[in-house]
Amino acid sequence: MQTNPTYSSLVAVGDSFTEGMSDLLPDGSYRGWADLLAGRMAARTPGFRYANLAVRGKLIRQIVDEQVEVAAAMQADVITLVGGLNDTLRPKCDMVRVRALLTEAVERLAPSCKQLVLMRSPGRQGPVLERFRPRMEELFAHVDELAARHGAVVVDLYGAPSLSDPRLWDVDRLHLSAEGHRRVAEAVWQTLGYDPEDTEWRTPMPATLPPGWTSRRVADARFARQYLLPWIGRRLTRRSSGDGRPAKRPGLLPYEDTVE
């Protein structure tokens, strides 16, 4: 990887992680690591262009069908692809199919850009991670294989101690906080070959006293009411939080025209 490269365009492909949930802005929209990364890259390259095709809740089949061809046609310098994790969290998940679809996406995107970026997604400490860890690690092993085969780079967020800390995750326990997204942007920035702006992004936050029993039970009840039960309801009715939602930034446009 060259040092301080010059890239003139970025296209981000994926689900809620790439859309930017839960890095909430005052106007109710989401920012996220991809927007932060685009801002940094634009500051170095006049006329920099950026598109973000990500939509929350998308499975890898939907990403392939709805985003991959659009992204490939844009012929961007850099494309980021993160997908498949939503599939691994489903009770019934065909990992053979997930791997095949991810392969299809990489084989289409890698020749269409100068640099394809893949990721080993972060995992929050807790029972959800432990339950689905084997599927996640199978997915990440395949990501590593695809990267080696197609000249992509891999950002290892799963292996970063800081990003497993529950304090870097939103109250929904599924999406990173603003600080979590900032650290992901730094990780991708460095993986692309730029000089570090934060050499300690992997370093865990300072230890603090854990919340008391009552605080934990209140937080658990809030989580179940506001997030877990609606999530289960969508699974039972085969709905997604991204149904009918357009891509975040569907056009590859100058950064200053699309991001405030």
Q: Say what the pLDDT of residue 89 is.
A: 87
Q: Say what the pLDDT of residue 93 is.
A: 93
Most confidently modeled range among 86-90, 155-159, 206-210: 155-159
Q: 208 or 143: whose pLDDT is higher?
A: 143
If one counts every other C-beta atom within 10 angstroms of the C-beta of residue 152, the result is 21
The DSSP letter of residue 156 is E
Residues 168-176: what's their mean pLDDT?
A: 86
As a whole number of angstroms, the distance between CA 121 and CA 136 comes to 9
Q: Which of 13-24 are b and which e, b meaning 16 or more Cβ less than 10 Å from the residue's Cβ?
A: bbbbbbbbbbbb
CA 139 from centroid of its chain's CA atoms: 14
pLDDT tops 90 at residue 129: no
Percent of the chain with pLDDT over 90: 69
User: Which DSSP helix (H) or strand (E) runs through 132?
Assistant: helix 127-150
Most confidently modeled range among 23-27, 31-35, 173-177, 220-224: 31-35
Q: Say what the pLDDT of residue 260 is.
A: 46
Percent of the chain with pLDDT over 70: 83
Map tokens 């691994």 to a residue.
88
Q: 225 or 46: whose pLDDT is higher?
A: 46
Q: What is the pTM of this model?
A: 0.87
What SS3 state is found at 260? coil
Torsion angle (degrees, nearest 10) of CA 106, 168, 91, 16? -50
